Amino acid sequence: MKASSKKSNNLQGTVTCPGDKSISQRSVIIGSLLDEDIQISGFLFAEDPLSTIVALRNLGHEIEIDNDIVSVKNSRKNISDQKVSCNLGNSGTGFRLISGLIAGQEIDAELTGDDSLSKRPMNRIIKPLNEMGAKIESNKGCAPLTFNKSQLVKEFLYEMPIASAQLKSCLLLAAISSNMKLTLHENKVSRDHTERMLKYFGANITTKKYEGMQDIILDTNNKLEAKDYSVVGDFSSASFLIVAALITKDSSITIKNVGINETRFTLLEILIKMGSNINIKNHSICCGEKVADIEVSSSTLTGISIDEESIPKIIDEIPILSIAASFAEGETSITGAGELRFKESDRLMAIEEGLNKLGVSYKSSDDSIVIMGNRDLNISKEVNIESFGDHRIAMSFLIAGLRFDSEVHVNDCKNIDTSFPSFFETFSSLGADIKTI
């Protein structure tokens, strides 16, 4: 599916932020560890959370969807004792988190994914899970993974070699489902939705922070308490709306119910430092997650230098940040971002290819990109940009197109459905000219 966008000024209106993808996935996975039924509202009905539900059902869990409510039944007792197969499609989060669950519950299973997921590195989870006692085989460190039932150790300490919330969550899920005491050391703090959700359901989990690092300790004997759960809006999806309003003329929009967890909303702090008109209001807490409404209007931006500590907290927002940086005055430098090469696409390469087509100047290395912004950037001929099958690359370049006199076409936009299925509808409602072809 191809999509196009063209110059759009005056974006106006109020929209509700779609549910958080990561949190939706965690809510059904952790919900499947509870001893009573729970109901989940605000769930994101997009391909990645839905493939997570299908995988959990294959493992024997009973999950029903009725209107907008997801019910996770007390179905632990039904966990399969046959070898099961689960296909997690495009979802790295679904794949890595469910791997932890399978290892901890001693299930014989095979996990597969689509072409993009089958190229992503899995040794980062295989190595520590096997050290914990799991028996996992892989295709040279990639999917498919085969899990051979095996008992895990009772206590494990792990120094995280990379800042990855997917790895951290995988290990926490292996530990909680096997009653293991787990201590994790993070040199750089990654998103903490799993820790917050485990705490919400009553787990024995504590975090000790020091000098930008932290230890996470999950103790044993966790009797999780069943409670309904409400998923907050996805900051990563909101970031496309925010940057669209910032870079277009005469725009002013409000996004309601956006998750502003400190390990996720660093892009807002960066954009504010770049000169954005952003107002955050109606703060509240929902199931342990901070939430607020965000008002944004057209702004004149200036480039910025981003420190390495921030990278894990903006990891999914770097493609759209690179678009904001392209229209800012001066340089924006993003360093220590090598993890971008292992996402749904090689995102550093995909960003460079797209910026090149738009005539943006940049310098890059293995793990960095410096963008020379230009407030008057424009293109005089239509361009075709590759998404490399990556939802965040596709959405980022469609947003860039809102600034140009000539149309921007983006190839292969189907994967927008993995995280933001209402993308085209939402942008049309604000007056943006973005459409599928």
Active-site positions read: 316
Residue with the two structure tokens 């596709």: 394
* Contact status, residue 77 vs residue 102, Cβ threshold 8 Å: no
Q: How far is CA 162 from CA 56, 120, 294, in A?
A: 27, 15, 31
Query: What residue type is 56 in one-letter code?
Result: L
Cβ at position 261, least distance to ligand S3P in Å: 12
Residue 188 interacts with ligand S3P (CB under 6 A)? no
Residue 91 interacts with ligand S3P (CB under 6 A)? no
The full 3-state SS of 114-183, as one line of letters, equals CCCHHHCCCHHHHHHHHHCCCEEEEECCEEEEEEECCCCCCEEEEECCCCCHHHHHHHHHHHHHHCCEEE
Cβ at position 59, least distance to ligand S3P in Å: 19
What are the phi and psi torsion angles at 315 (to 5°)?
-55, -40
Q: Which of 6, 191, 313, 347 binds ligand S3P (CB under 6 A)?
A: 191
- At 13 the three-state DSSP class reads strand
Cβ at position 43, least distance to ligand S3P in Å: 15
Cβ at position 392, least distance to ligand S3P in Å: 8
Dihedral over alpha carbons 345, 310, 298, 436 (to 10 degrees)? 10
Residue 326 interacts with ligand S3P (CB under 6 A)? no
The full 3-state SS of 61-111, as one line of letters, equals CCEEEECCEEEECCCHHHCCCCCEEEECCCCHHHHHHHHHHHHHCCCCEEE
Residue 90 interacts with ligand S3P (CB under 6 A)? no
Residue 190 interacts with ligand S3P (CB under 6 A)? yes
Residue 129 interacts with ligand S3P (CB under 6 A)? no
Q: Which of 65, 54, 44, 12 is nearest to 422 (CA)?
A: 44
* Contact status, residue 236 vs residue 419, Cβ threshold 8 Å: yes
Cβ at position 356, least distance to ligand S3P in Å: 24
Instruction: Please say whether the dihedral angle defined by the alpha carbons of residues 210, 201, 23 and 242, taken in this order, is positive or negative.
Output: negative
Cα–Cα distance for residue pair 149/241, rounded to 1 Å: 45
For the chain, how long is the longest CA-to-CA vector? 64
Give 331: exposed, middle or buried? Use CB within 10 Å, 0-12, 13-18, 19+.
Answer: middle
Size of the site for ligand S3P (CB under 6 A): 11
Q: Which of 4, 5, 22, 52 binds ligand S3P (CB under 6 A)?
A: 22
Taking the least distance from each CB to ligand S3P, the nearer of 173 and 430 is 173
Cβ at position 387, least distance to ligand S3P in Å: 16
Cα–Cα distance for residue pair 383/145, rounded to 1 Å: 40
Taking the least distance from each CB to ligand S3P, the nearer of 313 and 409 is 313
- At 207 the three-state DSSP class reads strand
Residue 93 interacts with ligand S3P (CB under 6 A)? yes
Taking the least distance from each CB to ligand S3P, the nearer of 167 and 383 is 167
Cβ at position 342, least distance to ligand S3P in Å: 8
Residue 315 interacts with ligand S3P (CB under 6 A)? yes
Residue 339 interacts with ligand S3P (CB under 6 A)? yes
Tokens of 99: 């791997």
Q: Which of 316, 317, 386, 390 binds ligand S3P (CB under 6 A)?
A: 316
What part of residues 153-182 is at the interface with ligand S3P (CB under 6 A)? Answer: 164-166, 169
Taking the least distance from each CB to ligand S3P, the nearer of 191 and 403 is 191
Taking the least distance from each CB to ligand S3P, the nearer of 91 and 254 is 91
Taking the least distance from each CB to ligand S3P, the nearer of 166 and 332 is 166
Taking the least distance from each CB to ligand S3P, the nearer of 96 and 403 is 96
| Binding site residues, ligand S3P, CB under 6 A | 22, 93, 164-166, 169, 190-191, 315-316, 339
